[in-house]
């Protein structure tokens, strides 16, 4: 029997149970239940006896008050991911690996916004004020009127924010905050949930936009209970491959905008530079295209982005050949390899396969299937694709090449960057901006790659 008032909270999914167990009944994780003291049994509501209710005040769908203007921070790539600026009174959770540049990005956002007259505060629970100031100075933001504080006590932060009127507040990070109303340690589910709950309430009540930094676990999820993701209005992920300067801001949830929008940055000595034309950045335009490379004409959010797929197919030295993929889905790679084997007569059974998306971008569009297949076939056949050719199209298990969305924008972007032809789904053949080699079956496309007169 559990002690009175004790609940066992899973540190992974946040579900509360009345008895301790080795495995969480909510998410199946092992050894994640931790005892936390609660004044009420889990799931119970506040006492109902004698409580008075106001009754629901229903409203129509039409706006009576126009929505408040968004805060344009001046960091356009950030504003774009927000859906056209930060919504006053909204709460945003920003997750990302340690060292990816979350603090840098948010200092830049706060600094630029403050220069435009937005009242900004930056509260760090991880670094001292001098450290935060030093970073801002290196980024050339010393003149920006951002108010800095180093604090981890939730009570102090909330009181401080009530005393002064801010438009935008950055909290770095939610895992460092602790509330004296709870016994659990900082970073525990109870504390993270309490801190997020309190700050979201404050945001809504006082019309302050709050941006919370969230640490991520080894698996890449934002640490702490999923409930925090449900509490906030938007969840963004800041991503970047180690060794590359490019950083991608991606919306995972957004109540005020589309979630497929991305912001592209380049990390430099003076902070993050915005990349307005990502295509030029992810492409290797110098020299002949080597065998195994195919330029994919993709769409990220609302923008077309050209990026190079690089494949290497090599004899395997071991019994089990290796499959390694960076920037693309390994399940999708397995599927494309299977289709190449079954429908196009290429064999990978005794060969290692490496696939890499250049520049550190992560591609999730099915439209990239044909580009991956072309890169793999090009390496397997040792035949380079023409230098001026882009590739896109979805591949079905039966080996068909299917049309994809926004084919016109893809072709136009490719033409703008000097490409002259495309290997694409068949029904595009009549398109005028580029010379399109249409393929209705993957085997047709692969045969083309193997032909010497293709160039």
CB-closest chain residue to Mg ion = 103
Q: Residue 175, interface with Mg ion (CB under 5 A)? A: no
Q: Which stretch binds Mg ion (CB under 5 A): 41-49, 74-82, 95-103, 288-296?
A: 95-103
Exposed e or buried b per residue across 286-311, where buried means at least 16 C-beta atoms within 10 angstroms of its C-beta = eeebebbbbbbbbbbbebbbbbbbbb
Q: Residue 188, interface with Mg ion (CB under 5 A)? A: no
SS3 call for 208 = coil
Q: Which is nearer to ligand TYD, 139 or 428 (CB)?
A: 139
> Residue 99 touches which of Mg ion, ligand TYD, none (CB < 5 to 8 A by kind)?
ligand TYD
Q: Which is nearer to ligand TYD, 49 or 242 (CB)?
A: 242
Q: Cβ 405 to ligand TYD, closest distance in Å?
A: 33
Q: Are 93 and 235 in contact (CB under 8 A)?
A: yes
Tokens of 212: 């919370």
Q: Are 363 and 336 in contact (CB under 8 A)?
A: no
Residues 6+ apart with CB under 8 A from 422: 297, 389, 390, 391, 392, 410, 411, 414, 428, 431, 434, 435, 436, 437
Rounded CA-CA distance 12/29 in Å is 7
Largest CA distance in the chain: 86
Q: Cβ 126 to Mg ion, closest distance in Å?
A: 6
Rounded CA-CA distance 27/23 in Å is 8
Report the relative pairing of strands 351-357 and 6-10 from DSSP bridges: unpaired
Task: List own/partner pairs for 429-437 with CB under 8 A and 24 or more apart.
Answer: 431/407, 434/390, 436/411
Q: Cβ 138 to ligand TYD, closest distance in Å?
A: 5
Q: Which is nearer to ligand TYD, 238 or 354 (CB)?
A: 238
Q: Which is nearer to Mg ion, 97 or 352 (CB)?
A: 97
Q: Cβ 245 to ligand TYD, closest distance in Å?
A: 8
Q: Which is nearer to ligand TYD, 176 or 437 (CB)?
A: 176
> Residue 139 touches which of ligand TYD, Mg ion, none (CB < 5 to 8 A by kind)?
ligand TYD
Rounded CA-CA distance 258/63 in Å is 21
> Residue 11 touches which of Mg ion, ligand TYD, none (CB < 5 to 8 A by kind)?
none
Q: Cβ 360 to Mg ion, closest distance in Å?
A: 20
Residues 6+ apart with CB under 8 A from 66: none
* Residue 96: strand pairing partners: 215, 238
Residues 6+ apart with CB under 8 A from 436: 411, 421, 422, 423, 424, 428, 429, 430
Q: Which is nearer to ligand TYD, 129 or 270 (CB)?
A: 270
Q: Cβ 89 to ligand TYD, closest distance in Å?
A: 25
Q: Cis link prior to 173 (omega < 30° from 0)?
A: yes
Q: Cβ 127 to ligand TYD, closest distance in Å?
A: 8
Q: Cβ 269 to ligand TYD, closest distance in Å?
A: 6
**Which residue from 11, 90, 103, 188 is in contact with Mg ion, where contact means CB under 5 A?**
103
Q: Which is nearer to Mg ion, 97 or 156 (CB)?
A: 97
Q: Which is nearer to ligand TYD, 104 or 191 (CB)?
A: 104
> Residue 334 touches which of ligand TYD, Mg ion, none (CB < 5 to 8 A by kind)?
none
The residues of the shown chain that bind ligand TYD, judged by CB under 6 A, are 96, 98-104, 135, 138-139, 267, 269-271
Q: Are 178 and 192 in contact (CB under 8 A)?
A: no
Tokens of 454: 């293709």
> Residue 269 touches which of ligand TYD, Mg ion, none (CB < 5 to 8 A by kind)?
ligand TYD
Q: Residue 124, interface with Mg ion (CB under 5 A)? A: no
> Residue 150 touches which of ligand TYD, Mg ion, none (CB < 5 to 8 A by kind)?
none
Q: Which is nearer to Mg ion, 97 or 427 (CB)?
A: 97
**Interface positions with Mg ion (CB under 5 A):** 103
């Amino acid at each position: 029997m559990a002690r009175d008032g004790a609940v066992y909270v899973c540190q992974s999914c946040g579900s509360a149970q009345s008895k301790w167990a080795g495995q969480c009944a909510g998410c199946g994780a092992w050894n994640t239940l931790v005892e936390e003291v609660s004044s009420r049994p889990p799931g119970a509501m506040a006492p109902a006896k004698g409580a008075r209710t106001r009754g629901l005040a229903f409203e129509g769908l039409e706006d009576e008050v126009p929505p408040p203007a968004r805060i344009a921070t001046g960091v356009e790539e950030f504003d774009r991911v927000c859906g056209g600026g930060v919504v006053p009174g909204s709460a945003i959770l920003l997750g990302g690996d340690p060292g990816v540049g979350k603090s840098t990005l948010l200092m830049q956002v706060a600094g630029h916004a403050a220069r435009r007259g937005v009242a900004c505060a930056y509260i760090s629970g991880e670094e001292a004020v001098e450290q935060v100031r030093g970073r801002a100075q290196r980024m050339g933001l010393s003149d920006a009127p951002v108010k800095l504080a180093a604090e981890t006590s939730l009570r102090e932060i909330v009181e401080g924010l009530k005393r002064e009127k801010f438009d935008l507040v950055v909290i770095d990070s939610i895992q460092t905050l602790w509330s004296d109303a709870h016994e659990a340690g900082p970073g525990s589910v109870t504390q993270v949930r309490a801190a997020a709950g309190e700050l979201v309430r404050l945001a809504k009540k006082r019309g302050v936009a709050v941006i919370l930094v969230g640490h991520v676990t080894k698996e890449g999820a934002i640490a702490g209970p999923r409930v925090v993701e449900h509490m906030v209005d938007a969840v963004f992920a800041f991503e970047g491959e180690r060794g590359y300067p490019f950083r991608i801001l991606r919306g995972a949830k957004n109540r005020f905008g589309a979630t497929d929008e991305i912001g592209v940055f380049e990390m430099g000595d003076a902070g993050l530079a915005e990349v307005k034309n990502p295509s030029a950045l992810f492409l290797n335009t110098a020299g002949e295209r080597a065998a195994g490379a195919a330029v994919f004409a993709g769409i990220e959010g609302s923008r077309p982005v050209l990026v190079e797929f690089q494949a290497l197919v090599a004899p395997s030295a071991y019994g089990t050949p290796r499959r390694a993929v960076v920037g693309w889905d390994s399940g999708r790679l397995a599927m494309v390899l299977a289709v190449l084997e079954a429908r196009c007569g290429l064999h990978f059974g005794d060969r290692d396969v490496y696939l890499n998306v250049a520049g550190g971008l992560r591609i999730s569009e099915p439209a990239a299937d044909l580009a991956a297949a072309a890169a793999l076939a090009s390496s397997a056949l040792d035949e380079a694709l023409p230098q001026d050719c882009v590739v896109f199209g979805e591949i079905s298990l039966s080996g068909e090449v299917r049309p994809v969305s926004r084919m016109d924008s893809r072709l136009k972007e490719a033409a703008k960057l000097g490409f002259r032809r495309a290997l694409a789904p068949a029904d595009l053949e009549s398109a005028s901006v580029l010379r399109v080699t249409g393929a209705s079956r993957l085997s047709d496309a692969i045969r083309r790659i193997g032909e010497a007169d293709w160039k």
